[in-house]
Amino acid sequence: MRTRFVVGLMLALHVSLGATVYEKECVGCHQELDVGIDKFFYRYVLVFSSEVSVKAALKDYLMYPMKEKTLLPEGLVEKYGIKAPWTLGEAALEEAIDTYWETYTFMGRLK
């Protein structure tokens, strides 16, 4: 029992230490929502098109979230409300957004 606890603790520490900002701060929360995090990406691309515009729009919304800026459908906004502003600093946010872009971008994935 004791051995199992130690192994579990070590595993949790490894995951926590090795995970990226995006994985720690974004993926975890979005797993609790009905809509997958990838769908938000497609929605942003649909509206803002280019990498620069998408990243700028995401950064702006995550730092200063407002109802007027969200791309969430009305029903989801009412259900989950507007998220709290990002508090981990601009650099960490940019890193998370870059990872998000790299994960879901259409570029290089079309066949």
Partner 1 sequence: MAFLALYLTLSCAILGLFGVGYYALQKEAMLSLKRGELNALANEHVKALRALHVAFDKTQEYPRHEAFRSGIFDGAAVEIFSLLHVSPLLSRIIYLKEGMIHYIKEPEAHYLGTQYLVLEVEDDGAWHHEALRNMAWFGGGIFLFLAVGGYFLLRLLLRPMREAIALLDRFIKDTTHELNTPIHAILSNIEMIPLQTLEPKTARKLERIRLGAQSVSHLYQDLTYLTLGHHQARHESEVQVDVVAQERVEYFALSLEAKKITWAVDVAPAVLWIDQGALTRLVDNLLSNAIKYNRVGGSLHVRVAPGVLEIKDTGIGIDASKLARVFDRYVRCHESAGGFGIGLNIVGMIAKEYGLKLALESTKGEGTCVRVLW
31 contacts partner 1 (rule: CB under 8 A): no
The distance of closest approach from Cβ of residue 39 to partner 1 in the complex, given in angstroms and rounded to an integer, is: 9
> How far from 6 is each of 10, 11, 17, 94, CA to CA, in Å?
6, 9, 16, 35
17 contacts partner 1 (rule: CB under 8 A): no
Interface residue with partner 1, options 45, 57, 76, 82 (CB under 8 A): 45
Residue list 52-71, contact with partner 1 (CB under 8 A): 52-54
**Nearest one of 78, 75, 74, 81 to 29, comparing CA atoms:** 81
Binding site for partner 1 (CB under 8 A): 38, 42, 45-54, 106-107, 109-111
